[in-house]
Structure 1
Amino acid sequence: MRAKRSWRVAAACSALVLGLAACGGGNDDADQNEGTSDPSTGTAGGTYAAELTEPTFLAPASNCYESECSAVLDLINDPLVSTDFESGELIYDGLAEEITANEDQTVWTITLKEGRTFHNGEPIDAESFARAWNFSQDPDNAQATAGFMSRIEGAGEGPEASGIKVVDEQTLEVTLDKPFSQFGQMLSYAPAFAPIAQECFDDIDSCNDTPIGTGAYEMTEPWQHDQQITVEKWADYEGEQPAMADSVEFKMFTTPVAAYRDFQNGGLDVLSLAPEVYLEAQGVLGDAIIEEPTATLTYLGFPIDEAPYDNKKVRQAISMAIDRELIVDQVLNGLAYPSTDIVTPPIPGARDDACEYCTYDPERAKELLAESGVDPEGMTLQYYFNAGAGHDAWVEAAARQVQKTLGFDYELNSTEWAQYLELLDGGDFEGPFRLGWSLDYPSPENYIRPIVGTDGDSNYTGYSNPELDELVAQGDAATSLDEAIDLYQQAGDLALEDMPIIPMWSGGTAIAHSDEVGNVRFDVGEGEIAYGEITVEE
């Protein structure tokens, strides 16, 4: 579905939300008020400033596959649809009036709400979506989220996909090349499925600096590269996700330390705390820091065709030799949650008891190693991770624990992110490697297929299990969400038994905010702070 170089394979430290962790679609209505600042006493209006790393793109939206651009685009664009994280059901709070599928989940009909327009007054109609999706799927345009279109019949074969059909002004029909029960949930990933105004389509370079959106905020001033992006409340907005502040100023900084110093000096009202400043901020702000779970999974993968990792009992032993809770507490400052599944909470279908081999049990780990027949004497395990993203300490802590329990010596290997992806793409690793994954849309399929499915977009282990693939395919063709989730869970169970990867933990985020703003929370569905809900205090 995605290129292996996608931002969804997260470079950043899993304990904190940083620049290279991507965001997905969805809406966590069930827990909307958990972890927020005190309820706001402010009213709609006012301006606040938030920290943002320089985005890569703002237009077209289909080129956005990172948290930096989506933080802006999620304010100036409404999604087609959102997803309830508890039930997995679609919430029609965006541009779609209804989304339905035929019995075998291959033909999807999207009915749009009437009367909605782009910021420039153009109608938001079926043609505006067909225009955007055809542009995205055309390989000549090399869009970052083009993988989302790959399920559509005829995608990637030319400028127009045969599976995208405009029925009438408000109706779009999409034919998939095979059944996929989660297509509705996939549509909640807003950047990939946003429409595009004809004016923007005619001059994408200009639109990149001043995007033409569909949401509660608009950009009336061009993007000041490496300095600032300002969005303002759109007076003619008629949707269901209204803006609270009159405007939001996103300010760019060269380092997380510089951003935190500006916050201390009153120049910023909201920022995500990076590891470099978290402990200092905690000493000053204490309980005023908002700490919440994210849906990001951190894991260690194995080259399963290489000895000794070709023996699943060795993989299981290594997993049970790692004390995740201790590492989370002592290395990650408590801002992570030990994993019990490949699928992370609060994704529908995530479980707290799925993984038999994810608990710390040194005696059982030794037994598993003995059963494997592998002698660790004289063996050195090579551990790989990307440098400069906060992974050094925890990878070494895990390696030391494995050494203490099982007797394997270890060496650490780190490279910069771009080189690290090249290493993984080329299979140039000889031991456990670190990766992270964050949701695109709230479905267990979005974790199982890419990470452990045969030829999955983030499957660097070489793992292939036809039974697992068949269960995923059955989940794709399921006629109900409950049936689909059950089948995806069965597929996950096979991977948790075979252990091509070791689930380590799901991430957490830490947010600091000034007294000038209220109603600050982290939206786990969007993978970012809920900027549109923030109020300016009286």
Structure 2
Amino acid sequence: MAAALVLGLAACGGGSSEEETPAGGSEPTGQAGGEYIAEVTEPSFLAPGSNCYESECSAILDMINDPLVSTDAETGELVFDGLAESIEPNEDQSVWTVTLKEGRTWHNGEPVTAENFANAWNYSQDPKNAQATAGFMSRIQGAGEGKTMSGMKVVDDRTFEVTLNGPFSAFGAQMSYAPAFAPISDECLDDIKGCNEQPVGTGPYQMDGPWQHDQAITVAKWGDYAGDQPAQADKVTFQMFTNPTAAYRDFQNGGLDVISLAPEVYLEAKGTLGDSIIEEPTSTLTYMGFPTAQAPFDDPAVRQAISMSIDRQLIVDQVLNGLAYPSTDIVTPPIPGSRDDACGYCVYDPEQAKQILDDAGVDLSGETIQFYFNADAGHDAWVEAAARQVQDNLGVDYKLQSTEWAQYLELLDAQDFTGPFRLGWGQDYPSPENYLRPIVGTGGDSNYTGYSNSEVDDLLVQGDEAGTPEEGIEFYQQAGDVALEDMPIIPMWSGATAIAFSDEVTDVAYDPAAAEINFSSISVVQ
């Protein structure tokens, strides 16, 4: 699941050129037809869906695939606008029955069946296939034990039953994470390598030719689409960029119609485009983790003091150009259960930070703290700013170490770090559990700190076993409180987005449930 870690500052947001648009979009104000061009970074994979655990590939896949189910961004309730007709748990929410809508087909004409889901989920969980989202299958009985899961049962062509290892009230919402829980067509199962170049989907758009690596991906409206999320534009081209400034220059020159603005170009764009930029908070979390088994970071007082010696608001204002919100919790808005006062040690108070160290009998004088981050993702300036504040307020020296993303993940996997390291997290489904268990749960998929607290783990289980997702929030919040007292990580800020668009398009909207721009809803001005 490490691929879910947010690689850079989030560039996704909400709103519309006309008015705010809810998840799934609203009635378009523009006419159907036409073409537009949007910016994207080269994806890692397009197929199978279970190998997509990043925003770059999901932006494409969400256009060519319908989800199994969606969620309401504010309430977290299931919205049946995808392939599922119904999703029903048993009384203790350990067995879930999924019924598919009748008459849905793949782009190649194959019928969408329960067997397609069983094939995809079994392929994902098989350790031999090393799929990026395999961790989502871990709650299903028999996951990771072979080619098929004992908990995955096809009842008939339109129905399958999923038996979990135990109750999990948020499993319905978890299935809304489309790439991990997508089906796979028979054609793609027979030729996965070929399908990666030109996926076969179920959604309103289909691939218009193969993936042109490092150049572009083009999708075209599928005329036989029978789902609930119809396409507007006839064709969309995703132009690939590695440099955000180059992408913005292309936008200025009329080469792009829709672009997510990086912090380094945001102020310039704001000065030129003004209020026409869509600006919204996102659910991404940027945080710094500690090697909790190594001195001096094995002492919670040191971690708390470092957190309180960092002026998050100053960094947001002066380094990130306002495109973030200082953290108040591990769980970010707008996730249900997020709080604006949970993190007492996230408040900037250098005097209190020194007092915490004094009370604990800790002397950091003469220490040199090494800060780690991944290069070429916009983190250099803010990590150095935070390190300098820790130096000024706590009297320690610092060093910076950055590596490319692939090497950075290797460093984290090998636990080969001696100081604070930068990571990020974005929602997969709207539940506090999706943040807490991976980051601070024992053995969590993003728990590189080595932190383990049985009280946190027990509270997470109680949240899982609650009668409803809403009832589970209380237990998840208690788990968060324990972790925020121990501070294995220090939450830094939640994300914000700025989206610019040309006068050639309208109905530009952000889907907060999917945590990305709703490209399917965009209309071309005729």
Normalised-by-shorter TM-score class? over 0.9
Q: Could you report, residue by residue, the CA deviation over 1:444-481 in whole angstroms, capped at 9, with x for unpaired residues?
A: 10110110111111111111110110010111111111
Map of 1:512 onto structure 2: 500
1:369–1:406 Cα contact (<8 Å) kept: no
Q: In the aligned structure 1, how far is the partner of 2:394 from the partner of 2:207?
A: 57
Q: Could you report, residue by residue, the CA deviation over 1:157-181 in whole angstroms, capped at 9, with x for unpaired residues?
A: 2222111101111110011122222
Q: In the aligned structure 1, how far is the partner of 2:242 from the partner of 2:77?
A: 40
Map of 2:206 onto structure 1: 218
CA 1:470/1:414 → structure 2, altered by over 3 Å: closer, same or farther?
Answer: same
1:373 to 361, 383, 394: 361
| TM superposition shift of 1:307 | 2.0
Matched, 1:102 2:96: no
Map of 1:180 onto structure 2: 168
Q: In the aligned structure 1, how far is the partner of 2:110 from the partner of 2:4?
A: 32
Identity between Structure 1 and Structure 2 (%): 70
| TM superposition shift of 1:261 | 2.5
Could you say what the CA RMSD is over the residues aligned between the two structures, in angstroms? 2.2
1:75–1:215 Cα contact (<8 Å) kept: yes
For residues 119-198 of structure 1, the aligned pairs below 5 Å read: 119-198=107-186
In structure 1, the residue corresponding to 2:200 is in which secondary structure? coil
For residues 485-504 of structure 1, the aligned pairs below 5 Å read: 485-504=473-492
Q: In the aligned structure 1, how far is the partner of 2:196 from the partner of 2:382?
A: 39
Map of 2:4 onto structure 1: 8
| TM superposition shift of 1:507 | 1.0
Unaligned runs of 5+ in 2: none
| TM superposition shift of 1:355 | 1.0
Q: Which amino acid aligns with 1:115?
A: G
| TM superposition shift of 1:41 | 4.8
In structure 1, the residue corresponding to 2:345 is in which secondary structure? coil
1:185–1:441 Cα contact (<8 Å) kept: yes
In structure 2, the residue corresponding to 1:340 is in which secondary structure? coil
In structure 1, the residue corresponding to 2:384 is in which secondary structure? helix
Once the two structures are overlaid, the 10-residue window that deviates more, 291-300 or 219-228, is 219-228
Q: In the aligned structure 1, how far is the partner of 2:22 from the partner of 2:280?
A: 8
Matched, 1:17 2:11: yes
Map of 2:46 onto structure 1: 58
Q: In the aligned structure 2, how far is the partner of 1:117 from the partner of 1:223?
A: 22
**TM-score of the pair, normalised by structure 1:** 0.93
Map of 1:256 onto structure 2: 244
CA 1:405/1:226 → structure 2, altered by over 3 Å: closer, same or farther?
Answer: closer
Q: In the aligned structure 1, how far is the partner of 2:454 from the partner of 2:373?
A: 29
Q: Could you report, residue by residue, the CA deviation over 1:222-277 in whole angstroms, capped at 9, with x for unpaired residues?
A: 22222222111112211111111111111223533332222222121111123443
Q: In the aligned structure 2, how far is the partner of 1:409 from the partner of 1:59?
A: 46
| TM superposition shift of 1:205 | 2.5
Map of 2:452 onto structure 1: 464
2:324–2:496 Cα contact (<8 Å) kept: yes
Map of 2:287 onto structure 1: 299
Q: In the aligned structure 1, how far is the partner of 2:437 from the partner of 2:264?
A: 34
For residues 67-82 of structure 1, the aligned pairs below 5 Å read: 67-82=55-70
2:233–2:523 Cα contact (<8 Å) kept: yes
In structure 2, the residue corresponding to 1:237 is in which secondary structure? coil
In structure 2, the residue corresponding to 1:334 is in which secondary structure? coil
Q: Could you report, residue by residue, the CA deviation over 1:354-399 in whole angstroms, capped at 9, with x for unpaired residues?
A: 1111111222222112111111221222211112211121112112
| TM superposition shift of 1:68 | 1.5
1:340–1:352 Cα contact (<8 Å) kept: yes
1:126–1:170 Cα contact (<8 Å) kept: yes
2:216–2:239 Cα contact (<8 Å) kept: yes
Map of 1:280 onto structure 2: 268
1:41–1:537 Cα contact (<8 Å) kept: no
Q: In the aligned structure 1, how far is the partner of 2:432 from the partner of 2:462?
A: 13
CA 1:32/1:166 → structure 2, altered by over 3 Å: closer, same or farther?
Answer: farther
Map of 1:447 onto structure 2: 435
2:30–2:507 Cα contact (<8 Å) kept: no
Matched, 1:314 2:298: no
Q: Could you report, residue by residue, the CA deviation over 1:126-155 in whole angstroms, capped at 9, with x for unpaired residues?
A: 111112111212222222211111211112
In structure 2, the residue corresponding to 1:192 is in which secondary structure? coil
1:230–1:247 Cα contact (<8 Å) kept: yes
2:34–2:234 Cα contact (<8 Å) kept: yes
Q: Could you report, residue by residue, the CA deviation over 1:396-434 in whole angstroms, capped at 9, with x for unpaired residues?
A: 211222222222222222222222222222222221111
Q: Could you report, residue by residue, the CA deviation over 1:312-358 in whole angstroms, capped at 9, with x for unpaired residues?
A: 12211211111111110011000000010000011111111111111
Which portions of structure 1, spanning 4 or more consecutive aligned residues, are displaced by more than 4 angstroms? none
1:40–1:517 Cα contact (<8 Å) kept: no
In structure 2, the residue corresponding to 1:10 is in which secondary structure? coil
